[in-house]
């Protein structure tokens, strides 16, 4: 039969990477050019049907500012999935470097030495989103090189990678759909 799955999902990544815009696109099908900065975190939910299951995502959209960093564990604790977002147009790959730090932190929470289960989740489904794919010309590195870097990084660290655009909606539903497919069926 068709399973109902509730999945806590957290969005992490540098401020301005497009976390809130991805959520707004996924949940409401909208995009705004001047998205307000998130304060603390915001909660959303959206349901998605995949082949064998109906997944209700309980989404925590975090702020990304360093001064809110200490709050982050409240949002990723017990999460079944995470989307780590970076801005592909960001100079000197600072946004990508920040994304890698988040991946490290999530990997640490999944290992028993950091938080004991069931708080940490070693089986968290993690997606890496290279966002603002509509702004190809603004990229600082060539498209192929940066995509390859991210793809290799994702593969080596147990994530899957997609380039997304909250503006054009490219790969937005797809990244949530891919997560839904990978969630453990209990
Ligand atoms: P957050 O801080 O990670 O939540 O980032 P926001 O969602 O607030 O987005 C920061 C800025 O980038 C806003 O002005 C958005 O309109 C813009 N933005 C977000 N996603 C995209 C995208 O895919 N393409 C373009 N061109 N702009 C985007
Ligand atoms: Mg935000």
Best residue among 12, 13, 14, 16 to mutate for probing ligand 1's pocket (most ligand atoms within 8 Å of CB) is: 16
Residue 50 CB less than 6 A away from ligand 1: no
Spacing, Cα 21 to ligand 1 middle (Å): 5
Indicate if ligand 1 lies below 6 Å from the C-beta of 15. Answer: yes
Average pLDDT (53-76) is 92
Please give the pLDDT value at position 28: 97
The finding on whether 89 has its CB within 6 A of some atom of ligand 1 is no
Residue 105 Cα to ligand 2 middle (Å) = 19
pLDDT of res. 23: 98
Closest CA to 44 of 85, 53, 30, 33: 30
Report pTM: 0.94
**Model pLDDT for residues 131-185, shown as the tens digit of each residue:** 999 987 655 556 666 788 999 999 999 999 999 999 999 999 999 999 999 999 8
CA of 15 to the centre of ligand 2 (A): 7
Q: Give residue 119's pLDDT.
A: 57
> How many angstroms separate the alpha carbon of residue 57 from the centre of ligand 2?
18
- Any atom of ligand 1 within 6 Å of the Cβ of 130: no
How does pLDDT run across 83-127, given as a tens digit for each residue? 999 999 887 789 999 999 999 999 988 775 555 555 568 889 999
User: Cis omega (within 30 of 0) on the bond before 118?
Assistant: yes
Q: What is the pLDDT of residue 115?
A: 56
Q: What is the pLDDT of residue 65?
A: 86
Kindly provide the b/e burial profile for residues 103-119, where b requires at least 16 CB atoms within 10 angstroms of the residue's own CB: bebbbebbeeeebeeee
CB neighbour list of residue 94: distance below 8 Å, 6 or more residues apart = 14
Per-residue confidence (pLDDT) for residue 11, from 0 to 100: 98
Q: What is the CA radius of gyration of the chain?
A: 16
Q: Please check whether residue 162 is in contact with residue 174, taking contact to mean a CB–CB distance below 8 angstroms.
A: yes
Which ligand is located closest to the Cα atom of residue 165? 1
| Ligand 1 and 95: CB distance under 6 A | no
Q: Which of 88, 135, 102, 133 is nearest to 11 (CA)?
A: 102
């Amino acid at each position: 039969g068709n399973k109902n799955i509730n999945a806590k999902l957290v969005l992490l990544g540098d401020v301005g990477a497009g976390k809130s815009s991805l959520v707004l696109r996924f949940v409401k099908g909208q995009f705004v050019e001047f998205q307000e900065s998130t304060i603390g975190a915001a909660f959303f939910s959206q349901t998605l049907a995949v082949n064998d299951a109906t997944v209700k995502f309980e989404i925590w959209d975090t702020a990304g500012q360093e001064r809110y960093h200490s709050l982050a564990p409240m949002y990723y604790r017990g999460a079944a999935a995470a989307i780590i977002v970076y801005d592909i147009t960001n100079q000197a790959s600072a946004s990508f470097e920040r994304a890698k730090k988040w991946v490290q932190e999530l990997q640490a929470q999944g290992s028993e030495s950091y938080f004991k289960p069931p708080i940490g989740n070693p089986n968290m489904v993690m997606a890496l989103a290279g966002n603002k794919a509509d702004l190809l010309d603004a990229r600082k590195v060539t498209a192929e090189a940066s995509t390859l870097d991210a793809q290799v990084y994702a593969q080596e660290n147990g994530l899957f990678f997609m380039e997304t655009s909250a503006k054009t909606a490219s790969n937005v539903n797809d990244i949530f759909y891919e997560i839904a497919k990978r969630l453990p069926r209990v």
